[in-house]
Amino acid sequence: MEHRYEQYGHKRLAVGAGYGTMDFIAQRTTAIILAVYSILFLLAVIFTKIDYDSWTNLFTFTWFGGFPTGKISTTLAFLALAYHAWVGVRDIWMDYATCATLRLSLQVLTVMWLVSSVVYFASVLWSL
């Protein structure tokens, strides 16, 4: 009689975080978003003069009759950065913080820092 959960071999029960495939896809997707945004931003910086008006126009330009393309694309890139950072730092805490209390504390502090960064970012960008 075969046991449902064997502790060895290819049918063993794998326990752990369980975030595998979805986080792999999320990391790659956010990395692509950040790469595309970085290239476009770099091209915009190279081909425009650097003064206050040009700098704010990089973030406030509109398309299709007032659609805030600059703010939305920058917000998307920043949210991708925050999620990318969360997945990476969470995995570091899960791998190297062996004490559950320490790991939970570090994860909570990381979430608080990332959320506060997103709120501050949004308040600055959307006030332009």
What are the CA-CA distances from residue 87 to residues 13, 24, 29, 82, 107 (Å)?
Answer: 24, 9, 12, 9, 11
Contact (Cβ atoms closer than 8 angstroms) between residue 30 and residue 84: yes
Annotated ligand binding at 84? The verdict is yes
Site of tokens 């502790």: 7
- What's the pLDDT band for 7 if we cut at 50, 70, 90? low
Average pLDDT over residues 61-86: 93
pLDDT digit string, tens, across residues 28-66: 999 999 999 999 999 988 998 888 988 888 888 888 888
Considering only CA atoms, which of 92, 114, 84 is closest in space to residue 23? 84
- Any idea where the domains of the chain sit in the sequence? 21-127
pLDDT of residue 13: 53
Q: In this predicted model, which residue has the larger pLDDT, 3 or 93?
A: 93
pTM of the model: 0.79
Annotated ligand binding at 3? The verdict is no
DSSP class of residue 128 equals: -
DSSP class of residue 8 equals: S
CATH T-level fold of 21-127: 3 helical TM bundles of succinate and fumarate reductases (1.20.1300)
d(CA 82, CA 62): 24
d(CA 84, CA 87): 5
d(CA 101, CA 98): 9
